[in-house]
Amino acid sequence: MTNAYRHAKAPVGREIRARCELTDNRLRITVTDANSTLPTPTRAALDDESGRGLELVAKLSDDWGAARRECGIGKTVWFELTVSAHP
**pLDDT tens, residue by residue, 24-37:** 899 999 999 988 88
- Give the total number of structural domains in the chain: 1
Length of the chain as a residue count: 87
Query: In this structure, is residue 23 part of a structural domain?
Result: yes
Query: In this structure, is residue 87 part of a structural domain?
Result: no
| pLDDT for the residue 15 | 80
pLDDT band at 40 (very low <50, low <70, confident <90, very high): confident
Whichever domain contains 8, its CATH number is: 3.30.565.10
Of 87, 82, 79, 86, residue with least CA distance to 20: 79
| pLDDT for the residue 4 | 79
Query: In this structure, is residue 64 part of a structural domain?
Result: yes
Q: List all residues 6 or more positions away from 13 whose beta carbon is below 8 Å from its beta carbon.
A: none
Query: In this structure, is residue 44 part of a structural domain?
Result: yes
Per-residue pLDDT, averaged over 53-64, amounts to 91
Domain span at 41: 2-82
Query: In this structure, is residue 36 part of a structural domain?
Result: yes
pTM, to two decimals: 0.81
pLDDT band at 86 (very low <50, low <70, confident <90, very high): low
